Amino acid sequence: MIKPHGAETLKPLYVSDDAQRAELTKEAEQLPSVLLSSGAAASAVMLASGYFTPLTGYMNIAEATSVAADMKLPNGLFWPVPIMNIVPSEQLTDAVKNADRIALRDPNVEGNPPIAVMKVSAIETLSADQKQLLIEKTFGTTDPEHPGVPAFADVGDNVLSGPIEVLNYSYFPEDFPDTFRTAVEIREDIAARGWNTVVAFQTRNPMHRAHEELCKIAQREVNADGILIHMLLGKLKPGDIPAAVRDASIRAMVQHYFPENTVSITGYGFDMLYAGPREALLHAVFRQNSGASHFIVGRDHAGAGDYYGPFEAQEIFDGIPEGALEIGIFRGDFTVWCKQCNEIVMMRDCPHGGDDYFNVSGTRQREILAAGEPLPPEIARPEVAEILMEYYQAEANA
């Protein structure tokens, strides 16, 4: 199986020993604490799960700036997106400022229980120029209308960095018991299935016909034993379809339209960044850590609005240093229903064009559903369309 990124073995930061975790949880209740942003809490879950191997915690300003500017840590490790714990000034109590260790509390669970304990390496203040650099390099824009920019810009200016020990996986195991899996668990499942070559597919949306066919095309072309459908389970922008609905629709599609033991349906606990090309690189990093040998990067991967070109998320892989990632990248083209071929095709593989094509996209799917109209079979399988229509009708009647 493919090696993890920057390490021989995964380095999950979850404290798996029950006695040690109980002792650390007791200690956390007595420590000075800060309330994490949703994004920082999600990063703690990713660190706990081994997805962010080989990181040991949150980055300081020098590390984050190096990642933003050059896509590498000062030690030379390739990393595409800053992983930071930024808090507002009111959280910097004297107790926190003077502590060697602090508790990190979860904003997404009732009562805000500790999710991790951090050894405080540094407490620093971001300058306006530093914050602008981090935002511009990560998102390619500082436009506050971009859905990812405010989530970074508005959390504060105080950077708390250092290694962490994680106590739990937040709300993800309880809310998604059949889907949330750590990188450790996914690697174990791949080994148990006897798969050697695995192609991973990222999704924050229900899978329409083009997604389905893209997975099948990628599996054929790389001769993969299996497909890892790996859905984001964290926070999304308004208007995106909730994870539970996505999960149900994807399971219906796989059950009816993929051969048995060719697909693993899983999810990970992270908030969507909508960072386009940079996020595509991060997605590749943690799919390599999950044991996938190949990763599908499609049109407008991890994008939002018109902030990125349709294939920028593929082109960015051409500019990273050779050997920075071991995972192979499968590049998806525009995927459409061809009336002449009577099937979903990638345009680069089809001799037809123009009026022969019916556009199949998540945006079009949402527009049709929002209008209360039935999804045509060229866009969605009937079993999937039924689940999505029920959700949209319930929303309209709420």
* Domains assigned to the chain: 18-173 (3.10.400.10), 177-397 (3.40.50.620)
Q: Of 105, 181, 187, 204, which residue is the catalytic one?
A: 204
pLDDT in tens, 80-135: 999 999 999 999 999 999 999 999 999 999 999 999 999 999 999 999 999 999 99
Between the alpha carbon of residue 227 and those of residues 104, 180, 193, 260, 261, the distances in Å are 35, 16, 11, 11, 9
- Calpha distance 71→321 (Å, rounded): 10
Nearest 5°: phi and psi at 329?
-110, 125
Q: Of 168, 205, 278, 289, which residue is the catalytic one?
A: 205
- Calpha distance 367→59 (Å, rounded): 40
Q: What is the pLDDT of residue 398?
A: 67
* 205 is known as an active-site residue: yes
Q: What is the pLDDT of residue 344?
A: 80
* 204 is known as an active-site residue: yes
Q: What is the pLDDT of residue 236?
A: 82
Q: What is the pLDDT of residue 393?
A: 84
What stretches in the chain show pLDDT beneath 70? 360, 362, 398
Pairing of strands 101-105, 33-35: parallel
DSSP state of 164: E
Q: What is the pLDDT of residue 347?
A: 74
pTM for the predicted model, two decimal places:
0.92
Between the alpha carbon of residue 231 and those of residues 104, 134, 297, 324, the distances in Å are 26, 26, 14, 24
Q: What is the pLDDT of residue 147?
A: 93
Of the candidates 341, 318, 77, 48, the residue with the CA atom closest to the CA atom of residue 209: 341
Q: What is the pLDDT of residue 394?
A: 84
Of the candidates 195, 299, 236, 281, the residue with the CA atom closest to the CA atom of residue 42: 236
